[in-house]
Amino acid sequence: MIMGVDPGRDKCGVAVLNSAGEVKFSEVIPTENFDTAIKKLAAQFEIEQVIFGNGTTHVDAEKKIRAINLPIKIIDEKFTTEEARREYWVQNPPRGWRRLLPVSMQVPPVPVDNIVAEILAKRFLVSSG
């Protein structure tokens, strides 16, 4: 199992995927709960690798992951937010009047940090073959 993490100042996206790329857990958690959540997920899913994007806020989260001895891989997170917004609408097709507007003109009504974490983990799986 691998864990993708999209850390932020106020919230973090966390996703757990198996080696086939199937999402087993995906959630946005408050940054203040990051330590507890990561420890719980690491034990629950037997995490073998943690994937971070190379954004500016990954340094603090990386220190917390290293403190619990999980291997870390940092990868390019370029365009993951845009990709996550598109994926949100695939997973949650617009309804009512929203279906009349192109999704490219809409902003998801919820944070998509967890979908970014999924994308980071999937990028890692593709790159590691």
Annotate 8-23 with three-state secondary structure. Answer: CCCEEEEEEECCCCCE
- Is the pTM of the predicted complex or chain greater than 0.95? no
Nearest to 22, CA basis, from 38, 56, 45, 52? 45
74-121: pLDDT as tens digits? 998 899 999 999 999 999 999 999 889 998 899 999 999 999 999 999
3-state secondary structure of 7: coil
pLDDT of residue 60: 81
**In 2-129, which ranges are E strands?**
2-6, 11-17, 23-30, 49-53, 72-75
- Domains in the chain with CATH codes: 2-127 (3.30.420.140)
30-88: pLDDT as tens digits? 999 988 999 999 999 999 999 988 876 777 888 888 888 889 999 988 999 999 999 99
